[in-house]
Amino acid sequence: MNDDWNTRTRMVHAGIRRSGYGEVSESIFLTQGFVYDTAEQAAARFESLGPDEFIYARYGNPTVAMFEERIASLEGTEDAFATASGMAAVNGALTSMLKAGDHVVSSRALFGSCLYILEEILTRYGVEVTFVDGTDLGAWEAAVRPGTKAVFLETVSNPTLEVIDLQGVARIAHGVGAKVIVDNVFATPVFSKALEMGADVVVYSATKHIDGQGRALGGVILGTREFIRKTVEPYLKHTGGAMSPFTAWIMLKGMETIDLRVRAQAEGAQKLAEELSGHPALGKVIFPGLDAHPQRALVEAQMEGPGTVLAMEIPGGQEAAFRFLNALQLITISNNLGDAKSIITHPATTTHQRLSEEQRSVLGITPGLVRLSVGLEDPRDLLADITRALEGLRRQDVA
Ligand SMILES: *Cc1c(COP(=O)(O)O)cnc(C)c1O
């Protein structure tokens, strides 16, 4: 591996570990254990692990290590730990570093399961959590205190695509010695500048853009070697959140094309957002790449691209939103994102159903809001599908 190589080159070659057969494509080391030449070698390995040595797949595996090295190379961190799912990564990053009596400040606009960990699980073990409106720097400032160990946020919120000033939050957090942990799915690994903006730990659900083809669940925690090996690894290797070698292979191959895929999907999303803005059958269109996005300057400063997800308001509430979804012929109704296939979701009745109506309204999740994850199809076909479904709504409303 050459550190001077550019991103796309590194995404094809970083982390490769070849076996004695000299295979071109990365091998799936589908083994839970590793043999030792002698009893002395086993004893030595249990005492301290060399850089390319393994003892048990819950602790590490060559295919998993290849994926970890490749994604760390993309994010620009020293190290990474791969996990069984995005939620195992979020839980691992938080739980491994917190103890009873610690304080955490978190943005309120979170993926449902992240909210559950912070609100229901950590608090059960004596961690105090304060929720703030993530876009209000004054609220972060007021919430942190000397005992604050971590702040947690999604830089781009789901599904309303509000952007949090990461640099501002990091300055406030670091002022009291707290670590900044970012769940970065919506920013995508390709467009992320989280480290540069002050994040200490970056977490991804690999289920999204990293796989990008809807096949496997996975996650990853990225940070300094010290944090990953001294804090995260001891927690995860003993509690069993490891990524399977087969999943790691899927994710590793996903990394070869992630730059091409995410850029093409973002380009498609940009085209759709521009074409659909102002459509007479549509309320507002929200996309970080639009000039009309309320935090356009922040988007430009802290993301290298606008992401692959947009949100749209269908006038007429849930009934009209459902009619619109049901009228689509190409775009599928599902709840994943970052996939090669374009996927549409009605957040109020699916991903954010658990929230109260009041909580949804605070987060801007209205009954007419739909979330569209733009895939790799030709944007012209996607646009035709959407406009045809919107025309159907209009005709029914007139009739
Ligand atoms: C999907 C997602 C997760 C959870 O990831 P899984 O792989 O489904 O466990 C966490 N955070 C965000 C922002 C997500 O989009």
Q: How far is the CA of 218 from the centre of ligand 1 (A)?
A: 9
Token pair, residue 282, equals 């549509």
* Rounded distance between C-alpha atoms, residue 144 and residue 132, angstroms: 10
pLDDT score at 20: 93
State mean pLDDT over 39-49: 94
pLDDT for res 29: 97
Nearest to 155 by CA among 132, 184, 178: 184
The answer to whether the bond into 315 is cis (omega within 30° of 0) is no
3-state secondary structure of 59: coil
Distance CA 305, CA 286 (A): 15
- Rounded CA gap, 163 and 290, in Å? 13
CA dihedral 148, 295, 273, 378 (to 10 degrees): -50
Q: Give the distance from CA 182 to its chain's centroid.
A: 9
The set of protein residues with a Cβ atom below 6 angstroms from ligand 1 is: 85-87, 90, 111, 113-114, 154, 158, 183, 185, 205, 207-208, 217, 219
- pLDDT tens column, 197-250: 999 999 999 999 999 999 999 999 999 999 999 999 999 999 999 999 999 999
Say yes or no to pLDDT of 390 above 80.
Answer: yes
CB 11 within 8 A of CB 66: no
| pTM of the model as a whole | 0.96
Q: How far is the CA of 101 from the centre of ligand 1 (A)?
A: 27
Q: Which of 271, 392, 380, 395 is nearest to 322 (CA)?
A: 392
CA 118 to chain CA centroid, Å, is: 17
- pLDDT of 329 above 70: yes
| CATH numbers and ranges of domains, the chain | 7-255 (3.40.640.10), 258-398 (3.90.1150.10)
Mean pLDDT of 20-46: 96
Which residue would you say has higher pLDDT here, 354 or 250? Answer: 250
Site to substitute for ligand 1 among 87, 94, 251, 345, most atoms within 8 A of C-beta:
87
Nearest to 352 by CA among 332, 337, 371: 371
152-184 per-position pLDDT tens digit:
999 999 999 999 999 999 999 999 999 999 999
Q: How far is the CA of 155 from the centre of ligand 1 (A)?
A: 14
State how far the Cα of 223 lies from the Cα of 90, in Å rounded to an integer: 13
Closest by CA position to 153, among listed 192, 185, 120, 191: 185
Specify the amino acid at residue 81: F
The atom of ligand 1 lying closest to the CA of 90 is 10
Question: What pLDDT was estimated at residue 399?
Answer: 55
* Farthest-apart Cα atoms in the chain, separation: 83
